[in-house]
Chains A and B, each alone.
Chain A
Amino acid sequence: MTMGFLDNTYIGNILTAVKSLLTGLGVTLREFFTRKVTERYPENRKTQHISERHRAMLRMPHDEEGNNKCIACGLCQQACPNGTISITTRTVTDEESGKSKKVLAEYHYDLGACMFCQLCVNACPKGAIEFTNEFENAVFDRKKLIMKLNR
């Protein structure tokens, strides 16, 4: 701020200081009366907004007939740094061509070991798994955190 002839004088310093202090006080006074951002969590369950990209749990979407897109390639299992995912497969023979094919038997996911890095979702060539934002996953027994994702 320039005050002309008062620049860097005793009086000028006081005026500059008072102006900048008042600016600060103005900012906080406005803040005092603004709507508060605090979320009262358990009470606001119905209206709370969780960001779409929030990663809270891995899920395998299924269509109406109960089919998923998983081809049991195991890339997600290899991509996982924590060994969270374990896949068991079984082999079926295609009736038309007679070729044998590996399909998914069980897709196990350990929520307790997951660090939500999304490497499994990125590795999946078919987009068969995704993260959802259902975050209320606390349980009293760790075994309940190991989930079977396919139906």
Chain B
Amino acid sequence: MIDFTSINASIESYLQSVLPAQVATLVECALIAVCAIAAYLVFAIVMIYMERKVCAAFQCRIGPDRVGFLGLLQVFADVFKMLIKEIIDIKDSDRALYTLAPFLVVMSSLITFSCLPFDNGLQVLDFNIGVFFIMAASSFGVLGILLAGWSSNNKFSMIGAIRSGGQMISYELSMSLCILTLVVLSGTMRVSEIVEMQREGWFIVRGHIPAIIAFLIYLIAGNAETNRAPFDLPEAESELTAGFHTEYSGMGFGLFYVAEFMNLFIIAGIATTLFLGGWTPLYIPGLDGFNAAMEWIPGIVWFLGKVFFVIWLLMWVRWTFPRLRIDQVLVLEWKYLVPIGLLNLLIMTVCVVMGWTL
């Protein structure tokens, strides 16, 4: 297993030796920002391509295969098309908020993205309240959506934004309850420690029944958080044209689109970190040879493999179920997911106190 902390430390000591201390810190920040944004965009491209192919497979189609080998250049063609589109100024719109909104959404998902542990030490932000920070950072994306709907001067955008606000704030609750359940099991909020603890068994196995229930509720709530079907009423194209981003064109829309996909990646990444052991390899007690073989696969491969598996699960759900009505969305959350989540938290606490975990 590669330990990225030593690589990071050697880069830092090199920079400190050639540059003054403050400049070195600045250069490090810039380097990290560039790497994070590059990774963010690369994953967005991979996921847009994956979404189109997986969606096609669920509908018994092949999907894009004309632009480039296997349609690999399709996403680049789409981005190019988006870049050459005219940016429209809406009459009587709130210009400042209208311009700001997509950046807020992207900022929220980029900050959350930097909390994900890709490999041992390959993590931008890691501190003692990491999980808490992730929850806080991921929840201010809804502000961008609300502002986008409000500032567009369009009733469809407004309805979409209000629906989105109601939905995202509601589902935040059961998502947090599920994360809390796992914090009870792990006893720490530091992301790197949570992953390290799963070296000898992933939490979904060690927490057995309450962890599995928490995982399922987390996936449902996560799907709702990303505004994807069956919870896509903020954009509900058949009712609201495109919901909160109706009035956006060109890269304004592009940013919303990328942020939506990256939120999906982040939801899957947090699920992987908390439930499926992050970058730690599969560990089965007793089978030493098997475990040693699993150790040979790099952590980042484990992490991305698990993340894309969870993304595939979410896409499977997306292309199976029809959209819920707004009252059904709220009933599902407040009458079912929250009570079950609370009960599940109690069960997990009892299990941990009585030592019934594996």
List the interface of chain A (C-beta within 8 A of B): 14, 21, 24-25, 27-29, 31-32, 34, 36-38, 40
Chain B residues with Cβ under 8 A from A40's Cβ? 62, 65
Give Cα A32 to B336, complex, Å. Answer: 30
Pick the residue among B61, B319, B336 that contacts A14 (CB under 8 A): B336
Contact status A29-B316, CB under 8 Å: yes
**Would A36 and B57 count as touching, CB distance under 8 A?**
yes
From B54, B60, B319, residue with most partner A Cβ within 10 Å: B60
Chain A residues positioned under 8 Å from B56 (CB to CB): 36
Tell me the minimal C-beta distance from A52 to chain B in angstroms. 24
A31 and B58 contacting across the interface, CB-CB below 8 Å: yes
Which of chain B's residues have a CB closer than 8 A to the CB of A29?
A: 316
Asked if residues B60 and A24 are in contact (CB atoms below 8 Å), the reply is no
Interface of A, secondary structure class, is helix
Partner of B320, one of A24, A36, A38: A24
Contact A36 B336 (CB under 8 A): no
Q: Considering the complex, which residues of chain B in the window 85-113 have a beta carbon less than 8 Å from any beta carbon of chain A?
A: none
Are B61 and A32 touching (Cβ within 8 A)?
no
Q: How far is the CA of A21 from the CA of B321 in the complex (A)?
A: 8
Task: Evaluate contact between B59 and A31: CB separation under 8 angstroms.
Answer: yes
- Please determine whether A36 and B60 come into contact, CB atoms closer than 8 angstroms: yes
Q: A32 to B60: give the CA distance in the assembly, Å.
A: 7
Contact B316 A32 (CB under 8 A): yes
Q: Given the complex of chains A and B, what is the CA–CA distance between A40 and B60 in angstroms? A: 14
Q: Which of A24, A27, A38 has a CB less than 8 Å from the CB of B61?
A: A38
Docked-complex contact A36 and B58, CB < 8 angstroms:
no
Closest chain A CB from B335 CB (angstroms): 8
Report yes or no: A31 in contact with B65, Cβ–Cβ below 8 A.
Answer: no
B65 A28 Cβ-Cβ under 8 A: no
Count residues of chain B with CB under 8 A from any CB of chain A. 15
> What is the distance, in angstroms, from A23's C-beta to the closest C-beta of chain B?
10
Q: Does B75 contact A (CB under 8 A)?
A: no
Cβ of B321 and Cβ of A34 under 8 Å apart? no
Best-buried of A24, A36, A37 by chain B (most CB within 10 Å): A36
Assess whether A37 is in contact with B60, with CB atoms less than 8 Å apart: yes
CB distance from B209 to the nearest CB of A (A): 15
B60 contacts A34, CB within 8 Å?
yes
Beta-carbon contact of A28 and B62 below 8 Å: no
| A24 proximity list for chain B (CB < 8 A) | 320-321
Contact A37 B317 (CB under 8 A): no
- Report chain B residues within 8 Å CB of A21: 321
Complex CA gap A24/B319 in Å reads 10
Smallest Cβ-Cβ distance to A36: which chain B residue:
B62
A21 to B320 CA separation, bound complex (whole angstroms):
9
Q: Which 6 A-B pairs have the closest CB atoms?
A: A38-B62, A28-B320, A24-B320, A38-B61, A36-B62, A32-B57
Within 8 A of A (CB), among B300-358: 316-317, 319-321, 336
Give which listed residue, A25, A32, A34, A38, contacts B317 with CB less than 8 A.
A25
- Decide if A25 touches B316 in the complex (CB within 8 Å): yes
B61 in contact with A28 (CB, 8 Å): no
> With A and B bound together, what is the CA distance between A101 and B319 in angstroms?
68
Q: Are B61 and A36 closer than 8 Å at their CB atoms?
A: yes
- Do B320 and A37 touch (CB < 8 A)? no
Instruction: Give every chain B residue within 8 A of A27 (Cβ-Cβ).
Output: 320
Task: List, in ascending order, chain B residues with CB within 8 A of A38's CB.
Answer: 60-62
| A/B interface sample: 6 pairs, CB < 8 A | A24-B320, A25-B320, A32-B58, A34-B60, A37-B60, A37-B61
Least CB distance, A48 to chain B, in whole angstroms: 15
- Which residue of chain B has the shortest Cβ distance to A38 in the bound complex? B62
| Measured CA separation A29–B320 after assembly (Å) | 9
What's the Cα separation between A14 and B320 when bound, in Å? 19
Q: Is the CB of A28 within 8 A of B60?
A: no
Closest to B61 in A: A38
Q: A14-B336, A25-B316, A40-B65 are in contact. Are A31 and B321 (CB under 8 A)?
A: no
User: In the complex, which residues of chain B have a beta carbon less than 8 angstroms from the beta carbon of A28?
Assistant: 58, 316, 319-320
Task: Write the nearest CB–CB distance from A125 to chain B, whole angstroms.
Answer: 45
Contacting residues, chain A, for B57 (C-beta < 8 A): 31-32, 36
6 other contacts beyond A32-B58, A36-B57, with CB at 8 A cut-off? Answer: A24-B321, A25-B316, A28-B58, A31-B58, A32-B54, A40-B65
Distance of B167 from chain A, by nearest CB (Å): 19
Question: What A residues does B60 contact at CB under 8 A?
Answer: 31, 34, 36-38
Central interface residue in A24, A29, A38, by most chain B CB within 10 Å: A38
